[in-house]
Structure 1
Amino acid sequence: MKVFLYIFVWFFIFLIVSASADPLKDTLLKMKDKSSSSLGMINLDALPGRNQSRGGMQRTSSKAVLATVNGHTIRKRDADKYLKKITKGKIKDYDRLPPKQKRMLLSDLKKMYKIKYFRGRPGNTVIGTYAKGKPVYKKEADAYIKKVTKNKIKDIDRLPRKQRLLVLKDLQRKYKIEHFKGRPKNTIIATVNGHDIYKREADAYIKKVTKNRIKDFDRLDEKQRYLLVKDLAKPMIVKNAIDANVTEMEKEEIFKQMWLGKQRAKIQVSNEEMLTLYEAKKTQILASDPQAKIPTYISLGNSLKNEIIENKIMSNLMKDVNITINFDGNESIENNDSNKSLVKLDKI
């Protein structure tokens, strides 16, 4: 009977132990599964379990200093807090981590502290030079980077070296533009076939073609200057060719046609005027030859218009002309009304 009771008691204890071990195992498995989706650096399998005696785990004071970054200490309580945050409360003690994972967690904390407690160089630090050796101070770069990033970055030392060099180049370029001083206006910038081109001509031309965006020829680079001088030289080359190949009489005829073209553009001719001239010419032709074939009004449109325009131009030119005719015997007749004189001459 005692043997049976002894066996029954041990069997009951075995059932209790098995029942309590299963929930703990399930909990650890769930923690393991969930930990894989949080931060990969925490390996729950390597942590000391509940069956490990607490006397065997080395305990560290919460005030213990683990590292120092820019004069700010990282204590164990900071590591515990960070560990609790990234594991969502599953692990709260830094001492439970293996050595490798401790180093990884501490490395992450150091990076965070470097960003949080960043300390750049003083504002009066010289980071480069402008033209003629003028120093570029860090405070100028800080103000520039703060402006271009809209206050997102306020210290140039936060940027990588390559980006810091780009900021310095921008400051140097900006300084060069603001303190630019070109040559005097009467400087000869080029000579084309013996004809000097002055800087004031180039300045006026570049100001016109860029719509006042650039006002000084000396702001252009070498290639742009060469192209601009070529543009300025074209009228001179054409003029030299005209002088060498066109006679004075031909020039006068060209100028005359140009002037007449401008006058024609200003004069308006109505359909009524053209129709009146057409009917007058038609009547005149039929009076001399009743059988004559008269062209249609539409076919004579352009010639009628040109004739009216030329008549108007000449009428405007002659209205203020003072004509004096010298006759035999040194007698002269003055007449300011040139139109009436022409009418009288037509009747002679």
Structure 2
Amino acid sequence: MKKYLVVLSLSLGLLVSSVSADALKNSLTNMLNEKDTSPSMVNLSNLNINGKAKPVQNVPKTRSSKAVVATVNGHKILKKEADAHLKKRTQGKMSNFDHLPKKQRLRLIQEMALPVLALDSAQKELSAEEKEAVYSRLWMQKEVLKIKITDEQVKKIYDQLKQRSEENNTTANIPAFESVKDKMKLQMKDKQMVGNLMKDVEIKVQ
């Protein structure tokens, strides 16, 4: 009986040991196959603890758009005016006056000063009649720019003039259309501007 119990105990022990070994094997296998979801460590192998910190790049300071950046004979030039002029001169490549070197700022202001200086001189030297003439001429030029004349309209007038010349046998002095197109277009604009100006005007000659 004792012998039977010893054999039974040994058999159970081997069975338990076998089960335990299989469980451990499976556990290890699962651990090896399982993906590590924990955060990875930062790689510090290339860290140079003796290196110097890189200097922070200096960003040019910029002023408010309403800030006065220069004066010309007492006339104030605002930053937004200088920015707009700079953007126009550089075709949009630069638009911040404060980012220019000091010498280029001076040149830009000198360029902007020209119409201011011309206006000062005109106000001092021109008579009232001359000022009126300047204003009238400027207004007329502005109105002419508003008028649109197409090449087709000019060509139509050119062909009419050419036909009249052919009828009168004077075609020898007629220039090519392309050589007179722009001049004719300007004349047609002037004529239309005068017509618009004189429209509905009441004139009485005493």
Name the TM-score, length of structure 2 as normaliser: 0.49
Which protein shows a greater Rg? Answer: 1
Name the TM-score, length of structure 1 as normaliser: 0.33
Q: Which structure carries more strand by proportion?
A: 1
